[in-house]
Amino acid sequence: MKGGFAGKVLFLDLGEGGISSRELEASDALDFGGGLGLGVKLASERITPAVEALDPANPVVLSAGPLVGTSLPATARCYAVTRLPAPRTVGWCGGSGAFGSQLKYAGFDHVVITGRAERPTVLSISDDRIELVPAEEYWGQGVRETTRRLKERLGRSAGVMAVGPAGEAMVSFALAMIDQYSTLGRGGFGAVMGSKNLKAVVARGSGEVRVADRRRYRELSQGLLQSMREYPYLKEWQDLGLVKSLPIVPAETYRRIRKRRLACPSCPIGDKDMIEIPDGDLAGLTVRSTSAVNLFTPMIYGFTDYREAVKCSATLDDLGLDMFEFFSLMDFAKTLVDNGIAKLESREPEIRLNSLASMEAWAGKICRREGLGEILAAGAERMVKDFGGPARELAPPIIKGMVPYVGPRPPLAWDRFGTMELGQLLDPRGPHVGASGSPTYFAVRPRSVFPKHLRRMGVPEQAIARIMGGHRKPDGHESRTPPSELPSGAGDASREQDELNVGALLKYSHTWFMILGSLGICARAQVNRFYHAELCAALYEAVTGVRTQLPDLQARADRAWRLLHRINENLGLSREDNPVPRAWIGRSGFKNYVTAAPLSEEEIKGMVEEYYGEWEGRG
């Protein structure tokens, strides 16, 4: 490859202390694109059904795609592919920050880590100087202090991926963070790092990413930047970030507490935040976060003082706990205690979801695995197992060992059933925040805007017709509009009353996400809206010098997904392992994305079938 790829894969066996590297195989890059897709391939070569998530043999494959480290907008995405402890499946966590680009500048596209270090360790990659550094001095420290000190050691430009005490204690919902503000979250990736005694991975490089065709690259890059500059809401995004689309935080409050906006390398939007509490007992507290919106999450669970909500989120981030799973489990634990099913020991604090003192105390107990904290640390399924039948009756929905991120009921109530909601059932990683860049992400968008987005994602016209034609009814009568009627008029507002085939849409959303992930482009809606599939193919060709058209990119992305499905089937995960949670159906359950009609279990199962049908060419 003439550009894009750094050209090497780094291998580390933490147990043996073995460090080696080899050339990236061109055929692998051609088959899987790079980045996330190639990460799946490298992990698949090392995972067997006998290898559990916290076993030393479980590989962690860190992956940065061919566009990572270029100046193209928002191309800082880095992925960790591994077997995850909460869903017990092979999946990935993705984050941005400086880690991916610095890894490329150091000369590596992937790092494959196996084994378990005898003592706490930091893996330091500084160009070709690869060191396993004893890390007792960092062990027990939060993500914030660990990151600060490691950046002091390698320089501010270094990318730091670190776990907090939750990862060290192998809490099933521990996450890792990059540069303090980007989460490798959900599924327990932090616990996998902890199981390897790996406190952090730090990367810094002095190289650059070569571009094969500079003239074409400049043309495409300028066009992309021009479309961003012309976007009518760009200023609003740059001002408010995620607060624009999720106004959980009033804009005035946000502007008052925002110290500055943070951005991943090469991102002109920068939706991450540094917040400073201006007044009250917590005045002066400064926090870096994925977004101010996330810092306010505890208010959904009853916090009334935003300052305390920010402090609580900052504590959870510092410990390295996935805050959505944390609050869901605390809510479940409180229900068990209130119903006399679980008992607190006399010295255990009362569980109050709206109290900073209570939540911080319980977060600490989980990380120390004390008392009930030991059970909570193992996740929702362990709670059901330990507290028996009555607990099962009161349990929240559990999918692959995790509580879904969004449900039709408070506190996080998005009741329209789009691709993110169905994806919670079908994503091999379990219920994740989102893996799609799909137009159904969060907002209830009018059906008329879908064809435009689907074409941007590279969905073939026949598939657009199926998606816009609605889903099959459970009795076998289809609500589809004949495909032959649709392509030219698929976007007509007159069809607004028709439905949407969410199962088929999810398949193409997965493909689109994998294309973005394999190249290294951020999938957040505010960024991926500027990329379109043909442009991705052209950029891939300009950067790598490998002749590429859209069908090539799609074939590589689909190959990675099929491989992921196959690996998980080999681990025993079949499509029958996707039971629809009871709380999702009926009048108080999820609603049809377009018509808002309550969904039945059969309808959701029909969508599952349609998802697999698209994969198998039965669409």
The residues of the shown chain that bind ligand SF4, judged by CB under 6 A, are: 74, 76, 96, 263-264, 267, 269-272, 522, 524, 526-527
Q: Which is nearer to ligand SF4, 96 or 424 (CB)?
A: 96
The least CB distance from residue 266 to ligand SF4, in Å, is 8
- CA dist., res. 258 & res. 92, Å (int): 31
Cα 82 to chain centroid distance, Å, stands at: 13
The phi, psi pair for 262, rounded to 5°, reads: -115, 150
Q: Which is nearer to ligand SF4, 481 or 528 (CB)?
A: 528
Q: Which is nearer to ligand SF4, 245 or 595 (CB)?
A: 245
- CA dist., res. 116 & res. 195, Å (int): 7
Q: What is the 3-state secondary structure (H, E, C) of 425-476?
A: HHCCCCCCCCCCCCCCCCCCCCHHHHHHHHHHCCCCHHHHHHHHCCCECCCC
Q: Where are the alpha helices (DSSP H) in 469-501?
A: none
- Beta-carbon count within 10 A of 368 CB: 13
The least CB distance from residue 70 to ligand SF4, in Å, is 13
The least CB distance from residue 389 to ligand SF4, in Å, is 43
Q: Which is nearer to ligand SF4, 233 or 280 (CB)?
A: 233
Q: Which is nearer to ligand SF4, 58 or 294 (CB)?
A: 294
The least CB distance from residue 244 to ligand SF4, in Å, is 12
Q: Which is nearer to ligand SF4, 233 or 577 (CB)?
A: 233
- CA dist., res. 41 & res. 50, Å (int): 18
The least CB distance from residue 238 to ligand SF4, in Å, is 11
The least CB distance from residue 96 to ligand SF4, in Å, is 4
SS3 10: strand
SS3 131: strand
Angle at which helices 550-570 and 601-615 pack, to 10 degrees? 120
The least CB distance from residue 274 to ligand SF4, in Å, is 12
SS3 77: coil
Q: Which is nearer to ligand SF4, 74 or 457 (CB)?
A: 74
Q: Which is nearer to ligand SF4, 481 or 518 (CB)?
A: 518
In the block, tokens 């490329």 appear at 104
Q: Which is nearer to ligand SF4, 196 or 272 (CB)?
A: 272
SS3 510: helix
- Beta-carbon count within 10 A of 340 CB: 8
* CB hemisphere CA count around 607 (13 angstroms): 30
- CA dist., res. 435 & res. 427, Å (int): 8
Which residue type does 2 have? K
The least CB distance from residue 292 to ligand SF4, in Å, is 12
- CA dist., res. 365 & res. 349, Å (int): 10
The least CB distance from residue 183 to ligand SF4, in Å, is 10
